[in-house]
């Protein structure tokens, strides 16, 4: 991004992009939002200060992968982990401002109706480069998420990708994270093995193709940022016009 600013603090629609993700979470009914912060966390905290104590923070001092990031937030969900009742938790990326609350609602509805331990929303995009691929079995059911660096030539041809829209049973997720091994290629602990581990243990894992391709636009360059900002503003103007 040619900037020392954390990516999630770059503006989209006139606000830090992470705010769009937080808004979608609250719109769909989340009771609390926990942001995992690290690099320049002071700026991230400042960016969401307007939410007050509705947003809390988990600190990831060193980045050891997405699974490690989620583990850093475990203390914020101790009550949910110890409860005899089911508690759902979304795991999302802070740099995806084109997220829609209705997409999260579709994931949540599927998750609840199936009494799933994990539900993933996927997207089929023209250019899947850089994304984890969704591998399905012969009957079309979920099999695994394969990171691009670990994918075979056949898997690299798959255009159904994992844009990191997860809904988990809270206790099942944290329990299973403890079983995740360090990835041989990257040396990191990923979140992506958790659905496969849950399914192997007999739990229900659901996958729905629910994320519009446009919502999966990556933000890795100033040009990407400008494109996402344009899409976001156009979408907001349509919503405002309908209202």
Reported as a single tens digit per residue, the pLDDT across 142-200 is 999 999 989 999 999 999 999 999 999 999 999 999 999 998 888 999 999 999 999 99
**Predicted local confidence at residue 208, as pLDDT:** 94
Instruction: Identify the weakest region by mean pLDDT among 32-46, 83-97, 228-242.
Output: 228-242
Reported as a single tens digit per residue, the pLDDT across 97-152 is 999 999 999 999 999 999 999 999 999 999 999 999 999 999 999 999 999 989 99
Mean pLDDT across the stretch 55-60?
97
- Considering the segment(s) 7-242 as one domain, its CATH architecture is Alpha-Beta Complex (3.90)
Sorted by where each begins, the domain ranges of the chain are 7-242
Please say whether the beta carbons of 122 and 210 come within 8 A. Answer: yes
Q: What percent of the chain has pLDDT over 90?
A: 88
Q: Which neighbouring-strand residues pair with 56?
A: 34
Confidence of residue 11 (pLDDT cuts 50, 70, 90): very high
Mean pLDDT across the stretch 226-232?
95
Confidence of residue 242 (pLDDT cuts 50, 70, 90): low
CA gap 211, 183 in Å, rounded: 27
Mean pLDDT across the stretch 198-224?
94
């Amino acid at each position: 991004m040619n900037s020392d600013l954390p990516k999630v603090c770059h503006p989209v629609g006139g606000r830090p992009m992470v705010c769009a993700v937080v808004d979608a979470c609250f719109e769909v009914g989340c009771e609390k939002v926990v942001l995992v912060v690290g690099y320049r966390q002071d700026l991230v905290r400042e960016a969401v200060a307007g939410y007050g104590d509705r947003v809390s923070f988990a600190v990831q001092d060193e980045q050891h992968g997405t699974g490690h990031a989620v583990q850093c937030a475990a203390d914020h969900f101790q009550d949910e982990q110890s409860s005899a009742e089911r508690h759902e938790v979304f795991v999302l990326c802070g740099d995806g401002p084109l997220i829609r609350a209705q997409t999260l609602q579709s994931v949540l509805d599927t998750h609840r109706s199936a009494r799933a331990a994990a539900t993933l929303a996927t997207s089929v995009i023209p250019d899947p480069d850089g994304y984890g691929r969704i591998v399905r079995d012969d009957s079309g059911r979920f099999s695994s998420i394969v990171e691009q660096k670990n994918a075979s030539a056949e898997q690299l041809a798959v255009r159904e990708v994992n844009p990191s829209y997860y809904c988990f049973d809270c206790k099942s997720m944290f329990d299973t994270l403890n079983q995740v091994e360090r990835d041989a290629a990257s040396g990191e602990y990923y979140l992506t093995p958790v659905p496969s581990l849950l399914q192997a243990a007999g739990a229900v894992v659901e996958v729905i193709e629910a994320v519009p391709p446009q919502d999966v636009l990556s933000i890795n360059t100033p040009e990407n940022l400008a494109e996402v900002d344009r899409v976001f503003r156009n979408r907001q103007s349509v919503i405002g016009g309908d209202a």
